[in-house]
Amino acid sequence: MDEEIVHVLKRIVGEENVIKNGIDAYIYDETPKFILPEPSKDVIVVKPGNTKEISEIMKFANRRKIPVIVRGGGTGLSGGVIPIQPSIIISMERLNKIIEIDEDNLMVVCEAGVTLHQLLKTLERVPNLSFPPHPGDESATIGGLVVNNSGGARAVKYGIMRNYVVGLEVVLPDGKILKLGGKVIKNATGYDLLHLIIGSEGTLCIVTKVILRLLPEIGDTYTLVIPFNRTEDAIKSVPEILKKVMPMAIEYIEREAIKAGEKATGKKWPSKEGNADLMVIIDGKSEEELMKKAEMIEKIVKEYNAIDVYVAISRKEQRDVLEIRSLIYEGLKDETIEVLDVSVPPASIAEYVEKCKDKAESIGIRVLHFGHAGDGNVHQQIMKSSIGDWKEKYEEFKSYAFETAMKLGGYITAEHGIGIVKKRDMTKTLPKRAIELMKEIKRIFDPNNILNPGKVVDLY
């Protein structure tokens, strides 16, 4: 980046908020190292403090046709915030204010750089209100969760980010500021631009403020750990559980994945038996309600050959179980080629997993299966160990997995997004006209192709 660009950016945000050196913390995300795109180090990091400063940066970048990458918490797994050409990186870390908690309308207004952890901690001090979904790593920012339409374990009952976003303030690539939605539940006024932005992965505009719906407190929770000998039995019990109880979360986890989570946390999983477990989280307003739900689930899973049912009641017990599940990836990060996150109809999970297991075994590749059984989101951790020509076998397995998911009525990604890692796969699995429409939308928003270029779709 030449000195003129540096000078202009310092004038906009202040000299102390422009970084030229020591930029490694801003050019990587959590994408596994084996598929990580090579980042450009010819970047300059700016830390704007408000929407107006972002607007000025974009006006300048658009005139000069300088690529701009917006960075939140850097927790993505698809290379979505990695600069692949000389760029301005806008870090949202200073836009970290929770502006208003509107208790009458059950809504919160916050800047895009607020972290999920910050939001949840703030709401703990507000009587009777909560943000029930838990879409991923708590260091992720709200803006990042919005533009990736993040999901998480609680999606089965409480939905994904799209279900909670009612208003956005955004900066367009030409620097214009646009407000979409507001403190309303219904809005049928023209095309729904707000929902077009949700899930756009930073390629259409920059989200600066977010209005989220809140819900009444969810009450207390129990976490049930249920081991099975057979994957098929575990997955087949899920629809029956959903029909009668509707838990907050239902996770399917293979034994080897559990061991990886134990390794990462130093904690012990309640069950040692079987080959696959369900982790079921139930919520309720009273102990009586929780016990009734737990007993109902026990009755159902025993009909599907569950070995036992372990119930974690104390907060510490539940936190330990959830931490083991959450850190499976961390436990095997150095050996992981990629974590797939396909979505299939929930009733098709068992068929999908069994087919993928057979394929992995036939080509000699190690794959761990786990994920959100209640909403059909299967995670597959493809491992580098025990693979000779791992690149060829990895590509073969991934192609088979995506093809199988599509045949079952699913999609190649449920919550990790396309970024750069899955861009080629998306073009092979979606209709050609759908890709063309995406390119046309990108061209209307960003004709100079400066916002996160090279991600999701190629404009030219």
**CATH for the stretch 220-328:** 3.30.70.2190
In degrees, rounded to 5, the angle at the alpha carbon of residue 391 between the alpha carbons of residues 387 and 394 is 75
Interatomic CA distance for residues 415 and 402, integer angstroms: 15
The per-residue pLDDT for 370 is: 92
Single out the residue of 443, 444, 445, 451 nearest to residue 459, CA to CA.
Answer: 443
Q: What are phi and psi of 259, to 5 degrees?
A: -60, -35
Which H or E element spans position 70? strand 68-71
Helix pair 51-64, 3-13: axis angle to 10 deg? 160
Q: How far is CA 173 from CA 6, 145, 176, in A?
A: 19, 20, 7
Question: Residue 443 burial (CB < 10 Å; 0-12/13-18/19+)?
Answer: middle
Per-residue pLDDT of the chain (460 residues; tens, 9 = 90+): 789 999 999 999 999 999 999 999 999 999 999 999 999 999 999 999 999 999 999 999 999 999 999 999 999 999 999 999 999 999 999 999 999 999 999 999 999 999 999 999 999 999 999 999 988 789 999 999 999 999 988 999 999 999 999 999 999 999 999 999 999 999 999 999 999 999 999 999 999 999 999 999 988 999 999 999 998 999 999 999 999 999 999 999 999 999 999 999 999 999 999 999 999 999 999 999 999 999 999 999 999 999 999 999 999 999 999 999 989 988 888 899 999 999 999 889 989 999 999 999 999 999 999 999 999 999 999 998 655 678 899 999 999 999 999 999 999 999 999 999 999 999 999 999 999 999 999 999 999 999 999 999 998 7
Please tell me the pTM assigned to this model.
0.94
Single out the residue of 396, 421, 425, 400 nearest to residue 412, CA to CA.
Answer: 425
The per-residue pLDDT for 386 is: 54
**CATH for the stretch 332-428:** 3.30.70.2740
What are the structural domain ranges in the chain?
A: 3-91, 98-216, 220-328, 332-428
- Can 3-91 and 332-428 be said to share one CATH topology? no
Sheet holding 18-19, edge to edge: 18-19, 43-46, 87-91, 68-71
Assigned CATH topology for domain 3-91: 3.30.43
Parallel/antiparallel/unpaired status of strands 68-71 and 87-91: parallel
CATH class of the region 98-216 = alpha beta
